[in-house]
């Protein structure tokens, strides 16, 4: 019972820190101050934002399908929480339970997020929201294919679906050294999967105002916001587990230091997410889909076939 309460609290605290870090870094990139009024150096700004969203009036469109409209943000937030339950922070330290088919579980749960996006766009009875949900669903499904092939490549390379086994297999050498092209493909696909710049087409302000969540306000909007940033942090954890050896680092073996090393690696990946947002312009939607199906899919598929042939030929 206690762990069921701690997981959401841990995720919400992580999101609060990430939003403040993002706003400070973006301000630094653009040579401005960023949040600096609420609390010392703006440290209480996430709390002020959360209180604002909690106490604002919730406006529901009169022509919306009420049950589906309210169910969509709850579903997407719950889906974003479930995958955290099997994430390992060090050997034997898993939030809820270690699964031998960990990545299969992650993909099964993550695919449910598309339903909540479609529900949000359709139930709002808004053209902008519906177009945004269609864009987001097509984008997520398109790049899930490439992500699945890259993860399958690593699973074949390591020989296990288990997250801890994948980390232990990198004890002497991180996967990024031998599979650097796969890391580039996975990172760019993760940007598209989480609707981040330069692939934030479902939320294009100049075209769709805010996308599938345009009709949401107050607490329901906060649930979409929390789910989006929870998925960004989850993707960063998965990138560290797949390519950067998880909590492993040369000459560091104590559990306490391992967890600190893991968090530092995750923060470095999150910095890349923020850096890309501050540096790159938005793609056109046709460019986004072409990149996913014409470029990433053939490359990831060819990479997978090459690895299988290589391992078979050398009997590894």
What are the boundaries of each domain within the chain? 59-313
Backbone angles phi, psi at 94, to 5 degrees: -115, 145
Per-residue pLDDT tens for 261-278?
888 899 999 999 999 988
pLDDT in tens, 170-213: 888 889 988 899 999 999 999 988 888 888 877 766 666 677 88
DSSP one-letter string for 29-58: HTTS--S-SSSGGGTTHHHHHHHHHHHSPP
Mean pLDDT along residues 232-238: 92
Considering the entire predicted model, what is its pTM? 0.91
pLDDT at 252: 60
SS3 265: helix
Reported as a single tens digit per residue, the pLDDT across 91-101 is: 777 776 777 78
Nearest to 294 by CA among 147, 134, 143: 143
> 64 versus 4: which is more confidently predicted?
64
Cross-strand pairs, 90 = 93
How big is the CA angle at 137 (ends 135 and 143), to the nearest 5 degrees?
Answer: 100
Mean per-residue pLDDT over the chain, rounded:
85
Looking at the predicted structure, is the pLDDT value of residue 1 above 80? Answer: no
The closest of 225, 261, 242, 244 to 189, measured between CA atoms, is 242
**Buried residues in 1-29 as b, exposed as e (16+ CB within 10 A):** eeeeeebeeebeebbbebbbebbbbebee
């Amino acid at each position: 019972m206690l762990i069921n309460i701690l997981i959401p609290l841990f995720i919400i605290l992580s999101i609060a820190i990430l939003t403040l870090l993002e706003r400070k870094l973006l301000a630094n990139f653009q040579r401005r101050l960023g949040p600096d009024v609420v609390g010392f150096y703006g440290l209480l700004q996430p709390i002020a934002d959360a209180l604002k969203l909690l106490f604002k009036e919730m406006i529901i469109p009169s022509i919306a399908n009420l049950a589906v409209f309210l169910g969509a943000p709850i579903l997407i937030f719950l889906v974003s929480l479930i995958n955290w339950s099997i994430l390992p922070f060090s050997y034997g330290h898993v939030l809820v339970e270690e699964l031998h088919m960990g990545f299969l579980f992650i993909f099964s749960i993550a695919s449910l997020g598309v339903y909540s996006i479609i529900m949000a766009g359709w139930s709002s009875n808004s053209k902008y929201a519906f177009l945004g949900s269609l864009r987001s669903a097509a984008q997520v499904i398109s790049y899930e294919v490439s992500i699945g092939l890259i993860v399958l490549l690593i699973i074949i390379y390591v020989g296990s679906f288990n997250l801890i086994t994948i980390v232990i297999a990198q004890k002497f050498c991180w996967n990024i050294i031998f599979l650097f092209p796969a890391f580039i493909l996975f990172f760019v696909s993760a940007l598209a999967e989480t609707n981040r710049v330069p692939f934030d087409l479902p939320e294009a302000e100049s075209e769709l105002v805010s996308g599938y969540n345009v009709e949401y306000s107050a607490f329901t909007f906060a649930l979409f916001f929390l789910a989006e940033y929870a998925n960004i942090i989850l993707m960063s954890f998965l990138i560290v587990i797949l390519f950067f050896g998880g909590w492993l680092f040369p000459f560091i073996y104590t559990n306490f230091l391992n967890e600190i090393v893991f968090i530092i690696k995750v923060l470095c990946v999150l910095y890349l997410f923020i850096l890309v947002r501050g540096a790159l312009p938005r793609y056109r939607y046709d460019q986004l889909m072409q990149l996913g199906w014409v470029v990433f899919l053939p490359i990831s598929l060819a990479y997978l076939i090459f690895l299988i042939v290589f391992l078979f030929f050398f009997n590894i």
